[in-house]
Amino acid sequence: MTYNTTLKKRSKMKRIMNIFLTQCTTADSNAIVIDADSLMSSKTLIRRGLTPENIIVLNNNKDIIKKAYKQGHTNSVVGISTSVLPYLPGLYDLIYLDYCGTPAANKNGYWNPHMDVLWSADRLTENGVVIVTFTTGHIDNAIQRANLMIPNSLTLVKEVSYCETTPMYVMILSKSPDVKPLRDRFNLIYTKVKNHKSKLVQQMTIGKKRKASTPAYVTGVSWNKVSKAWQVCVKNKTLGRYKKREDANLLSKFISKKITVIWGKDHRKAFKQYVGHEFKCTVVKKGKTGWLVHWEEEGNFGDIPLKWIKELRD
Ligand SMILES: C[S@@+](CC[C@H](N)C(=O)[O-])C[C@H]1O[C@@H](n2cnc3c(N)ncnc32)[C@H](O)[C@@H]1O
């Protein structure tokens, strides 16, 4: 079971789910989360106010559990969920079975998601929630298999199919049969995060002045005698200095523009999966490698070589 933290950090669905986790819990909640080495899910719950001790982190990797212990999750357990869940005492308000696997039980019998869901159903508080994520890409009828795991004691609140590096599926289950408020809450988060910065929403926003895509105050390219370089300036801010005038011209032409890039050669392990894929971004200023860009989907920044640029979008 491999998991790419970098990719998840960029995932809108992850952001949606993290917000939702906070809405399923209060500071007094007890939770179980299958977490990755970034401990993103448990950190989200700590920010919500949960006591670290009341968040049990599960992972089959002992280093991740060591890390969880250091963060105060002292009831965390190493091992595959199906082997460790039966030993956990008490009831839980949230059980986040964030697997990377298919809904089929593992051949050697260590992992059986169906067993995990049944165990969870038995250990939820009255309004408790179980969230289960699967990859659906490598198996027939994955969603049907996942749905067949839902016992009578749980109600399906919401299901979403989405795509990361592979097709994924999440089902949100509740112990309470009154699931509409929870579903509405999820849908609201989903819509807000998905629409964040979308063109349609910007166009539909009345009464708010939209920023022009190019700052009117780019003063252009000038020669800086002191640094002996061509510089691109905005007001009194220098966005980059180049030895060659053509490079400065290029930056002044592209600054604040929306571009599409194709991720080129990348030897960094965590970034290999992006190679050859297209991403949308806006040029911010000169970077160390090429240009510093703002990734549209993820809302963070990256430094990309100029040759990765595929097209100017406006
Ligand atoms: C999808 S990631 C968890 C991501 C995390 N919830 C987050 O939002 O960042 C799953 C992690 O748990 C491990 N894992 C997957 N299935 C597991 C299982 N059934 N029992 C224990 N660990 C599991 C994987 O190796 C991986 O490190």
Same domain (yes/no): 189, 45: yes
pLDDT-based confidence at residue 216 (cuts at 50, 70, 90): very low
- Ligand 1 centroid to Cα of residue 118, in Å, is 19
pLDDT at 201: 52
User: Would residue 208 count as lying in a domain?
Assistant: no
Residue 59 lies in a domain: yes
| Contact (Cβ atoms closer than 8 angstroms) between residue 121 and residue 153 | yes
Tell how far the Cα of 104 is from the centroid of ligand 1, in angstroms: 16
Residues 6+ apart with CB under 8 A from 42: 33, 35, 52, 55, 57, 68, 71, 73
Ligand 1 centre to CA of 83 (Å) is 14
Position 213, amino acid: S
CATH number at residue 287: 2.30.30.40
What's the CA-to-centroid distance between 27 and ligand 1, angstroms?
A: 24
Share of the chain above pLDDT 90, in %: 53
* Contact residues of ligand 1, CB 6 A cut-off: 1, 3, 8, 14, 33-36, 38, 40-41, 58-61, 80-81, 98-101, 111
Give the ligand 1 atom nearest the CA of 38. 9
pLDDT confidence of residue 4: 57
Residue 80 has pLDDT above 90, yes or no: yes
pLDDT in tens, 102-156: 999 987 768 999 999 999 999 999 999 999 999 998 789 999 999 999 999 999 9
219 and 249 fall within a common domain = yes
Domain-located, residue 81: yes
Beta strands in the chain (DSSP E): 31-34, 55-59, 77-78, 92-98, 124-135, 155-163, 167-174, 218-224, 229-234, 237-242, 258-262, 278-286, 291-295, 301-304, 309-312
pLDDT tens profile 249-294: 888 888 888 888 888 888 887 777 778 888 888 888 888 888 888 8
Instruction: State the average pLDDT for the chain.
Output: 86
Both 312 and 238 in one domain: the answer is no
Q: Which domain holds residue 189?
A: 3-197
Degrees, nearest 5: CA angle 244-283-271: 100
Question: Mapped to the 3 state alphabet, what secondary structure does 202-234 carry?
Answer: HHHCCCCCCCCCCCCCEEEEEEECCCCEEEEEE
Same domain flag for 131 and 10: yes
Q: Is there a single domain that holds both residue 114 and residue 169?
A: yes
**CA 157 to mean position of chain CA atoms:** 21
Q: What is the β-pairing status of strands 229-234 and 124-135?
A: unpaired
Instruction: Tell me if 210 is assigned to some domain.
Output: no
> Which of 164-168, 175-179, 218-222 has the weakest average pLDDT?
218-222
Q: For residue 5, name the pLDDT band (cuts at 50, 70, 90).
A: low
d(CA 312, CA 250) in angstroms, rounded, equals 12
Highest mean pLDDT among 23-27, 55-59, 231-235: 55-59
Please give the number of the atom of ligand 1 that sits closest to the Cα of 44. Answer: 8
> 241 and 119 share a domain?
no
Residue 203 domain-assigned?
no
Kindly state whether residue 207 falls inside one of the protein's structural domains. Answer: no
The residue written with tokens 């194709």 in the block is 262
- Nearest-Å Rg of the Cα atoms of the chain is 24
Q: How confident is the model at residue 218 (pLDDT cuts 50, 70, 90)?
A: low
Q: How remote is the CA of residue 209 from the centroid of ligand 1, in Å? A: 43
Q: What is the pLDDT of residue 1?
A: 42
> What is the spatial distance between Cα 215 and Cα 235, in angstroms, rounded to a whole number?
10
Check pLDDT > 70 for residue 204. Answer: no
- State how far the alpha carbon of 69 is from the alpha carbons of 57, 82, 166, 281, in Å: 9, 21, 31, 38
Instruction: Please indicate, yes or no, whether residues 114 and 82 belong to a single structural domain of this protein.
Output: yes
